[in-house]
C-alpha cells in the first residue's frame, strides 16, 4: 500500500506530498510538531499531544487553521487511511509560504502535515541489554533563548548533540544545560534510580516535559515508588543504581553505561524492567478500549 500524507485537509500519495520551498518551516524551522504513537489503531494520549501542539503554536504566535477537535479527527482519519494499527505519527504545523526574509507577517497559509508510519527507534536487543550513552559537549539551548516547552521544528541543537553520540558509536547522547546540570537526551527524557527512589530533571532544567515521561511518573507513583523532579548532575548519573530514558518513539529503554562508566550492575535493573512492563500494559489497556 502506498503511504498517504495529510496536508491541510487533503491526502496525498507519498511522492506527491509537497509544500512550497518558500515555506518558513523549511527556510527557518518556523513551526511546531508532535511525535505520537498509536497502539492497535488507538492513538495514545492524543488529547495531551494536541494540547501541547496548540500551546507551542500559541507561544510562537502561530495561528493553527483548525480547531483541536478537527486536528484530532485528522490524525485518526490519516491513521485509518494508511491502515496502520501500531504506528508513529508525525504531526506538524508550519508558518506557511512567505518571503526570504524573517518577517512572519509576510507568510500565508500555515500548513498542517500528518505523516504516519511504522517506527523502530532502537534495535530490540537494546531494550533487553541496555543503551550506552555519552555526554555531549553541545549544551541544551538556554531557556531564555528558546523555551524548551516549545516543541519547534528547529532541532539543530539536538541534532548536533546526536552527531557527537553517533560518531563514537552511541545511539543517544546526554545533554547538559547552561549551568552544567543534567537536562535530557537528544530525543528522550532521562530517569535515574538510587536506593529505590526515582529522580528526573525538572522543567526548569531546560527539558521538554514529555508525554511518555508524564505517563511513567504516574505509573511509578501508582505502585508506590517515590519520584522526585530535581536538579541532577553527572555525578548522579555515574552513581545511579539504574537509569532509563523515555520518549514517544523510544517508549522506555534502559541505559547501562554513560561516558565509559558502567551504571549499576551494567544490566537493566529490576525497577526499570518493572516500569517497562507496566508501561507496555498501559498501552495495551489503552488499545483495548
Please list the residues that pair with 185 across neighbouring strands.
174
Please list the residues that pair with 117 across neighbouring strands.
88
Nearest to 170 by CA among 190, 185, 192: 185
DSSP letters for 176-195: E-TTS-EEEESSSEEEEEET
Q: Rounded to an integer, what distance in angstroms lies between the CA atom of residue 283 and that of residue 44?
A: 7
What residues have CB less than 8 Å from 238, skipping those under 6 apart? 258, 259, 261, 263
Q: Rounded to an integer, what distance in angstroms lies between the CA atom of residue 182 and that of residue 235?
A: 10
What residues have CB less than 8 Å from 242, skipping those under 6 apart? 192, 193, 254, 263, 264, 268, 269, 270, 271, 272
Of residues 4, 132, 151, 162, which has the active-site annotation?
151
The position carrying cell 529522580 is 199
199 is catalytic: no
Q: Rounded to an integer, what distance in angstroms lies between the CA atom of residue 80 and that of residue 132?
A: 37
The CA dihedral of 1, 73, 283, 58, to the nearest 10 degrees, is 120
Which residues are identified as catalytic?
Answer: 151
Amino acid at each position: 500500500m502506498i503511504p498517504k500524507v495529510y496536508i491541510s485537509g487533503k491526502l496525498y500519495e507519498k511522492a506527491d506530498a509537497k509544500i512550497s520551498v518558500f515555506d518558513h518551516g523549511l527556510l527557518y524551522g518556523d513551526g511546531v510538531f508532535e511525535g505520537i504513537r498509536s497502539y492497535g489503531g488507538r492513538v495514545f494520549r492524543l488529547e495531551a499531544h494536541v494540547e501541547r501542539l496548540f500551546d507551542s503554536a500559541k507561544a510562537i504566535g502561530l495561528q493553527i487553521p483548525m480547531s483541536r477537535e478537527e486536528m484530532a479527527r485528522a490524525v485518526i482519519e490519516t491513521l485509518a487511511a494508511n491502515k496502520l494499527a501500531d504506528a508513529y505519527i508525525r504531526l506538524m504545523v508550519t508558518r506557511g509560504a512567505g518571503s526570504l526574509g524573517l518577517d512572519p507577517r509576510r507568510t500565508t497559509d500555515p500548513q498542517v502535515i500528518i505523516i504516519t508510519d511504522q517506527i523502530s527507534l532502537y534495535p530490540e536487543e537494546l531494550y533487553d541489554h541496555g543503551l550506552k550513552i555519552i555526554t555531549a559537549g553541545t549544551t541544551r539551548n538556554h531557556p531564555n533563548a528558546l523555551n524548551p516547552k516549545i516543541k519547534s521544528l528547529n532541532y539543530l541543537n539536538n541534532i548536533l548533540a546526536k552527531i557527537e553520540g553517533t560518531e563514537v558509536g552511541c545511539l543517544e547522547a546526554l545533554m547538559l544545560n547552561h549551568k552544567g546540570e543534567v537536562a535530557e537526551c537528544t530525543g528522550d527524557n532521562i530517569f535515574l534510580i538510587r536506593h529505590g527512589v526515582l529522580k528526573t530533571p525538572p522543567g526548569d532544567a531546560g527539558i521538554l516535559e514529555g508525554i511518555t515521561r508524564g505517563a511513567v511518573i504516574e505509573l511509578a507513583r501508582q505502585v508506590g515508588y517515590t519520584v522526585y523532579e530535581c536538579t541532577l548532575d553527572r555525578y548522579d548519573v555515574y552513581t545511579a543504581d539504574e537509569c532509563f530514558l523515555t520518549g514517544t518513539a523510544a517508549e522506555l529503554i534502559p541505559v547501562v553505561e554513560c561516558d565509559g562508566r558502567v551504571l549499576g550492575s551494567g544490566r537493566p535493573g529490576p525497577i526499570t524492567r518493572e516500569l517497562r512492563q507496566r508501561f507496555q500494559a498501559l498501552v495495551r489497556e489503552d488499545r483495548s478500549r
